[in-house]
Chains A and B, each alone.
Chain A
Amino acid sequence: MIKLFERRTRIAMDRAKKKKGPFIYKSYSKKPKHRWVKKRKAAERRFRRAGFIAIAISSLFLASLVWNIVSSGRSAFTEAQISLQIEFQADLVEQGAYRKIVQNSLIALFPEVEDRKEKRALFGLVSRNAPHMLKKLIEENPALVSTKKDIWIPAASTVSVFYKQRLKEQSKRGGKITASHAAWITQLARSDRMQLKFNMAFFKNGDSREAEQAGVLASSIGSFMTILICIAMAFPLGVATAIYLEEFARKSWFTDFIEININNLAAVPSIIFGLLGLSIYLNLFGLPRSSSLVGGMVLALLILPVIVIATRNALQAVPPSIRYAAAALGATPTQVVFHHTLIYALPGIMTGVILSIARAFGETAPLLMIGMVAFVADVPKTFVDPATTLPVQVYLWASNPELGFVEKTAAAIMVLLIFMVLINLLAIYIRRRFEIKW
């Protein structure tokens, strides 16, 4: 008996040393067990397994989410381009008939196409933006006029998707591709005139009606401008509120009221803040609709309570001895706070602020209310220009049924998630590097 006890103790100590979690009763005797014991143990195992399965389901969901997005968004980073021999005829350039130039070179490539309808289909191979690209090229380099040059021109998004999927041997999922389109694509691919290239347009452009030209630059810039406004408003306001509540206010019914108020505000649905923005900022103050200024101000209200709570926690973590020591050396109350307490609480405050910024960065619903769903093709230059943000861009593309936009949506989500990860890593870094343990 004593030997058995010793053995169990040793096992328990071993487990504790290896940090394997709490010691769980296990019988090591070889005696047959009573059926009640068996029943209870089975219940124990079931319960334990249920807990594990709950975590497994959550992890599995995350894994399938990430896998799904990466597998369908990966292809958006490349696009099919067609090498066309463009002849910049002087008279056509003069007229600005760049569309004609593109069409001529396509006909030169496929001289056998005669039928009008077929010709129109042929012109649909390249991006509708191609004439615009050529125009820009000429503007940058006027010497090109009356010369011939091989230029890689992005294919139309349906063609691009079809070409990529052929590469993956899934030709039947090509979307709206006619038989003649398919034949031309095969011919182009054989002669190496169609190739997959890195999709620079995705990072250089704003939104576009043409999937192959749509990019995330405008919405990313819009996101950053919105966040900038948001920080500029929420950070000082939130930190000041927290300092007042934590360091200066005497406890009374009033501070209790404020505390309950702020805690409740943190749980108000985000869309309500959008309604607030719509009726106060837009209709009462008359601020410009769909601008990053209003977006940032709405998001600021959204994360204000979060910042207040985080800052209060960080201030609470600073031991009172610091305050006493400072006060004993003759510091005034504000000096105690601003020269000592706040400095020590700063890493904690920054972590909280950055995490709340991550939340604001991914927020969509309130921005829909203030009209940030507008179609924005240009990068916003000032804070009052119409802007959109990355999550809203994701929403807009996700509601577009065109095949080219499906992969763009997933790719935009990838960009969004990468930004989120970066923000969170920054928060973790600050916590690890600067946080003081008392």
Chain B
Amino acid sequence: MAKFEEWIKASLLACTMLSVLVTALIVLSVLSETIRFFSYIPLADFFFGTEWSPQTAIRADQAGSSGTFGAVPVFMGTFLVTLIAMAVAAPLGLYAAIYLSVYASARFRAWAKPILEILAGVPSVVYGYFAVITLAPLLRAGGDMIGLSIASESALTAGTVMGIMITPYVMSLSEDVISSVPKSLSFGSLAIGATQSETVKKVILPAALPGIVSALLLGVSRGIGETMVVVMAAGLAANLTLNPLASVTTATVQIVTLLVGDHEFDSDKTLAAFALGFSLFFMTLLLNIVALIIVKKYRERYD
């Protein structure tokens, strides 16, 4: 009997180790390819080069056969799209969270929450389709009307749709934070005569600030790693620009274009995708850890 117990425990532990192994596998597999990539291409060229054209020619002696792997425009594009997404998601998500946790009646909540949950559950490929079929032509027509030329694969389109996609995520995270601020604080503020909005701005939000910052950081990390919306709605050419109306590319788009289709596994091109992937993994990991530290360190305890 005791042996059986031990056996079960051991197998549970084995499963746990296997789950942990996944992280190790990610790091090892992606890192080893990345190291191989950097044995061909110098580190500085990748992180500081401003020219990204990984198309390797068919014959080795052809001009431009090596391709250039300066990832700055790619990261810039990722940054730009994520920035636009957060410009949409942060106000929408925060205001929605405040309204739902402070103002909304029970009946309104019962309607609004499921809507936002559905929005969170829609697959990203559907958002991508919406961006391409509906929003891009709409924005272009709107741009034409006021005399702006908006690229059909503009950062604005991809960013806006991605923002809407992240909104429910930011909202549910910050709603949890807001509702975890003790009621006594806001009652105190209301009792001295502050209005509800003054209470929110001067009492609840400062108390919830670390949590909200970490919610926004998690939103950013989602945006950086989001793939389908940008693959469908953002461009392929790497332009080094901060113009939201121009077409930009992102790290995830490049990973997909470099790896979809049959390639030999050893070329610089496929290895470049792993280098991008590793940077992506590293960035999101960093954001998550920073978010965790902020919450741990600055959260005030009200016990």
Contact = CB atoms under 8 A, between A and B. Distances in A.
Interface in B84-132: 91-96, 98-100, 102-108, 112, 115-116, 118-119, 121-126, 128-130, 132
Contacts of B292: 260, 263
B281 A59 contact: no
Interface residues of B, number: 91
Contact of A391 (B16, B105, B125, B260): B125
Interface stretch (A83-91, A126-134, A243-251, A344-352): A243-251
Interface string B121-165: 111111011101110000000000000000000000000000010
Do most interface residues of chain B lie in helix, strand or loop, or is the interface mixed? helix
Interface in B3-27: 4-5, 8-9, 11-13, 15-16, 18-20, 22-23, 25-26
Do most interface residues of chain A lie in helix, strand or loop, or is the interface mixed? helix
Interface stretch (B45-53, B69-77, B217-225): B217-225
Contact of B195 (A25, A69, A283): A25
Contacts of B124: 362, 364-365
B30 A363 contact: no
Contact of A72 (B11, B121, B133, B284): B133
Contacts of B288: 263-264, 267
Interface string B243-264: 0000000001001100110100
Contacts of B116: 55, 58
A395 to B, nearest CB: 5
A350 B196 CA distance: 40
B227 interface: yes
Interface of B: 1, 4-5, 8-9, 11-13, 15-16, 18-20, 22-23, 25-26, 29-30, 32-33, 91-96, 98-100, 102-108, 112, 115-116, 118-119, 121-126, 128-130, 132-134, 164, 167-168, 190, 195-198, 200-201, 218, 221-222, 224-228, 231-232, 252, 255-256, 259-260, 262, 265, 273-274, 277, 280-281, 284-285, 288-289, 292
Interface of A: 19-22, 24-25, 40-41, 43-44, 46-48, 50-55, 57-59, 61-62, 64-65, 68-69, 72, 236-238, 240-241, 243-245, 248-249, 258, 260-265, 267-273, 275-276, 278-280, 283-284, 301, 304-305, 308, 332-334, 358-359, 361-365, 368-369, 371, 373, 391-392, 394-395, 398-399, 406, 409-410, 413, 416-417, 420, 424
